[in-house]
Structure 1
Amino acid sequence: MIASLDHLVLTTRDLDKCVAFYSEILEMKLERFGDNRLALHFGHQKINLHEFGREFEPKAYTPMPGSLDLCFLINRSLKEVMAKLEACGVPVIEGPVRRTGASSAILSVYVRDPDGNLIELAQAEG
């Protein structure tokens, strides 16, 4: 029945810090759409942004900043990504560690975005 993920919604306390993290550090493409809404594109997916307390309808029953645990597959070496994180002052809280991804083994590092969401950046192995 389900073929793929189209988008998800991230609720943030600070749109500017959130946009900077995802667009400048993780290099997602920022897009404005609809009634001045914001989205971050990567691959064939996107993250729609909602500001806490000013969410668009319909919305999750209890939208909360810092409640997500996301894993993104990277398209360059983990060593390069870790160097960029360090240069941007983003601390790695765990890793590199081996994990089991959706379709293969992955090598991952974990960071937190400005809202405290856990962000796993993973390189597919084999």
Structure 2
Amino acid sequence: MISRIDHIVLTVRDIDRAAGFYSAVLGMQVETFAGGRKALHFGTQKINLQTLGQETRNHACIGSGDLCLITDMTPQDLLEHLALRGVSITEGPVAKTGARGPITSIYFNDPDGNLIEVSSYD
């Protein structure tokens, strides 16, 4: 019935700051849509950004996101990339299980405290 995730939404304090982080650190493309809203595009997916209270149909709170993103970079190359951008690592590299099997993951937080896991398939 379900074939893929189209987009997810993160609640952040400052949309421009969040967009800058994801663009500079993870290479996502920032897009403005629907009357000034912002999204982060990568591959065939996107992350929409919202501020607290912008969407009243969900129970959003700042910093509650927990994402796993897949990269083709080696864990060592990813660590070096993140270090050059001043990103503090909270865990990893560590062996985990992804949707398609074993992955190696590195964890860090975005400026709003959302947990970001960047992983590569072994």
**TM class by smaller structure:** over 0.9
Aligned pair count reads 122
Give yes or no for the alignment of 1:77 onto 2:51. Answer: no
> Is 1:91 matched with 2:93?
no
1:3-14 equivalence runs, <5 A = 3-14=3-14
The match for 1:30 is: 30
Deviation at 1:97, TM superposition (A): 0.4
Whole-Å separation in 2 of the counterparts to 1:14 and 1:34: 18
Structure 1 residue 80, shift from structure 2 partner: 1.5
Residues 59 and 28 of structure 1: CA distance in aligned 2, closer, same or farther (over 3 Å): farther
Looking at structure 2, the residues matched to 59 and 80 of structure 1 have their Cα atoms a distance apart, in angstroms, of 40
List, as ranges, runs of 4+ consecutive aligned residues in structure 1 with deviation greater than 3 Å.
none
Change (3 A) 1:75 1:59: farther
Q: What TM-score do the two structures reach when normalised by structure 2?
A: 0.94
**Residue 39 of structure 1: aligned partner:** 39
State the shift of 1:69 in Å: 1.0
Q: Which digits, 9 at most, give the CA deviation of each residue in 1:51-108, with x for residues without a partner?
A: 123x14x641x21111011100012222221111101110111110000111010001
Amino acid at match of 1:66: G
- Aligned-pair Cα RMSD in Å: 1.1
Residue 29 of structure 1 aligns to which amino acid in structure 2? Answer: Q
Deviation at 1:109, TM superposition (A): 0.6
For the Cα contact (< 8 Å) 2:38–2:49, is it kept in 1?
yes
Any idea what SS the aligned residue of 1:93 has? strand
* Gapped regions of structure 1 (runs ≥ 5): none
1:109 corresponds to 2:106: yes
Identity of aligned residues (%): 45
> Any idea what SS the aligned residue of 2:40 has?
strand
User: What residue ranges of structure 2 are gaps of 5+ in the alignment?
Assistant: none
